Amino acid sequence: MTRCAKERRVFFIEEPVWCEGERPRLELQHTDGVIVAVPHLPHGTTTVAGVRQLVDELLVTHHIHRYVLWYYTPMALSFTEHLSADAVVYDCMDELSGFADAPAELKALEAELLTRADVVFTGGQSLYEAKRHTHPNIHPFPSSVDVEHFAQSRRIESDPDDQAPVPHPRLGFFGVIDERMDLELLAGIAAARPSWQLVMLGPVVKIDPATLPRRPNIHYLGSKTYQQLPHYIAGWDVALLPFARNDATRYISPTKTPEYLAAGKPVVSTSIRDVVRPYAHIGLARIADTVDGFVDACEAALVEDSVVRLREADVFLRQTSWDGTWTRMRQLVEGVLVDSTSANDEPARIAGAI
């Protein structure tokens, strides 16, 4: 979306937050060119009606007459189904119905969104293979990476204050810690190698924090900003993807895989399909699902030839970038816009994406 915002206005509608007050209001925040719109709803407001009202007011206030609706979740259809867009994009990043506490109406709304969408993107190859029969104009877009941002890790020598006291070797993870995390595997690694330090960055969501394994060599350092991440990864010896194998991870394509590689770290993961293919197949990730296997893979990663790994990773990373991803997405969306415009009309541009 930051790349889209370089060419046209982008309004990103966030989840609503509850507040005190008499009427709904929309807080606008400018982030890297994207206008992030956060609905504030008074307690007692009906969520769908409140957000719908605010979206309608946004279109009027900012003179948005022709626009593309760009969906990251089918749930947003409940407050935008009345809008008339030049094109509808469904950017399907995950199989959300497989997540814990998924809304009961999610599958029905997705089915409706698929009938409305002009083009569908999937966040990985396995998700594409599962969804390809659901739409005639669907395209896979595996995780890309901002190489320059994460490559900072290769040059940073200082440690953030909360990570500095942690001894080496450090095995790190960043991301949401939720039902996708294999907590038994995490506990098993920590118990098998007490001298290894497991650094976990990210918020704990949808699971009881009391269920997290607690050992002296597991360090939960909380959420970090995108800008901070290279400074933490720089101090790791191995980067981890200790995901469980369940409904919530069946089709995930972890963006952090190429980010770890750009940061210059060896990667050890459980057998997530979009990590096995392509990363493990070309020697850029080690795969294991048991404690013993994962420990063995981490030990091999700790002693591997980093010069060879960095060279091979850089060759792979030259093939992927968010700039390239956006260029291909833009071409597909503009192709839809041209097809939907009569011969006498000027093709519509993406004036506002929601």
How would you write the pLDDT of the chain (354 residues) with one tens digit per residue?
999 999 999 999 999 999 988 789 999 999 999 999 999 999 888 889 999 999 999 999 999 999 999 999 999 999 999 999 999 999 999 888 888 777 888 999 999 999 999 999 999 999 999 999 999 999 999 888 999 999 999 999 999 999 999 999 999 999 999 999 999 999 999 999 999 999 999 999 999 999 999 999 999 999 999 999 999 999 999 999 999 999 889 888 999 999 999 999 999 999 999 999 999 999 999 999 999 999 999 999 999 999 999 999 999 998 888 888 999 999 999 999 987 654 335 444 444 444
Looking at the structure, do residues 61 and 205 belong to the same domain, yes or no?
Answer: no
Residue 5: closest CA among 35, 33, 30: 33
161 and 112 housed in the same domain: no
Q: What is the pLDDT of residue 96?
A: 83
- The answer to whether residue 72 sits within a structural domain is yes
Residue 63 in domain? yes
* Same structural domain, 123 and 39: yes
Do 230 and 153 share a domain, yes or no? yes
Q: What is the CATH number of the domain that holds 249?
A: 3.40.50.2000
Check if the beta carbon of residue 37 is closer than 8 Å to that of residue 12: yes
Q: Answer left, alpha or beta for residue 264, where phi above 0 means left and psi between -120 and 50 means alpha.
A: left
Domain that holds residue 107: 4-144+322-339
Do residues 308 and 166 share a domain?
yes
Q: Is 304 left (phi over 0), alpha (psi -120 to 50) or beta?
A: beta
Q: H or E element: which one contains 234?
A: none
CA-based R_g, the chain, Å: 22
The answer to whether residue 305 is domain-embedded is yes
Cβ atoms within 10 Å of 273's Cβ, excluding its own: 17
Note whether 87 and 25 are same-domain residues. yes
Q: Helices then strands (H, E): number in the chain?
A: 11, 14
Peptide bond into 39 cis (omega under 30): no
Q: Are 76 and 82 in contact (CB under 8 A)?
A: no
Residues 159 and 287 in one domain: yes
Percent of residues in the chain assigned helix, strand, coil, to nearest 5:
35, 20, 45
Question: Is residue 96 located within the same domain as residue 183?
Answer: no
Q: What is the pLDDT of residue 345?
A: 54
pTM comes to 0.84
**Is residue 12 domain-shared with residue 92, that is, in the same domain?**
yes
109, 159: one domain: no
Residues in CB range of 273: below 8 A, 6 or more apart: 125, 126, 250, 251
Asked if the structure places residue 69 within a domain, the reply is yes
CA distance 52 to 16: 11
Task: Answer yes or no: do 68 and 19 share one domain.
Answer: yes
Alpha carbon distance 97, 248 (integer Å): 8
The reply to whether 344 falls in a domain is no
* Total count of domains within the chain: 2
In a domain, 351, yes or no: no
Residues with Cβ within 8 Å of 346's Cβ and at least 6 positions away in sequence, in order, are none
162 plus 309 within the same structural domain: yes
Indicate the Cα dihedral angle 246, 248, 252, 256, nearest 10°: -100
Does residue 354 belong to any structural domain of this protein?
Answer: no
CA distances from 79 to 41, 53, 151, 284, 351 (A): 14, 8, 40, 43, 20
**Residue 346 belongs to some domain of the structure:** no
Question: pLDDT value at position 312?
Answer: 95
